Amino acid sequence: MKPRQRISSGVKWESIVGYARAVRVGDRIYVTGTTATDEQGEIVGVGDAYAQTVQTIRNIETALMRLDAGLEHVVRTRMFVTDISRWDEYGRAHGEFFRDILPATTMVEVARLIDERMLIEIEADAEM
């Protein structure tokens, strides 16, 4: 079995639920559902779908960098949104980061996320 390298973002939910922000196994990196939190665990861009998407992707990028990768290694993203009618706001932000990378991507509406102020959660898979 290949060794696992794990990193934490330090948000309160990780220790409660029992997960890591990202796990690297060999050349693959799995970034768990990530939201628009800052370094203090506070939600960025409350009510702003575009701003939350940007912050979420920046958080994913930070996790990848800590595992010696970058957004250019992302092969798949999954976006869970609380209001699909705002798809263009989420999509515009996603496109600004991934327009040239073109990962396989899914956007699906969910009833709610762990905090009612969160509008989007994104998972990402990367390969080196």
Per residue in 57-98, pLDDT tens?
A: 999 999 999 999 999 999 999 999 999 999 999 999 999 999
> For residue 74, what is the enclosing H or E element?
strand 74-81
pLDDT at 40: 87
Q: Which CATH number fits domain 4-127: 3.40.50.300, 3.30.1330.40, 3.20.20.100, 1.10.287.1080?
A: 3.30.1330.40
Query: CA 42, CA 56: separation in Å to the nearest integer?
Result: 12
Average pLDDT over the chain, rounded to an integer: 95
Written as six digits, the tokens of 35 are 């939201």
Percentage of the residues of the chain whose pLDDT score is greater than 70: 100
- Helices (DSSP H) in 28-103: which residue ranges? 49-66, 87-98
The C-alpha atoms of residue 59 and residue 40 are separated, in whole angstroms, by: 13
Q: pTM (2 decimals)? A: 0.95
Residue 47 has pLDDT above 80, yes or no: yes
Cα-Cα-Cα-Cα dihedral sign, residues 15, 8, 11, 108: negative
Residue 21 tokens, joined: 């922000």
pLDDT band (50, 70, 90) for residue 2: confident
Q: Is the Cα torsion angle 110, 41, 50, 106 positive or negative in sign?
A: negative
> DSSP secondary-structure letter at 37?
B
Check: CB of residue 56 under 8 Å from CB of residue 43. no
3-state secondary structure at position 14: helix
Taking residues 108-126, what's their average pLDDT? 97
pLDDT (0 to 100) of residue 93: 98
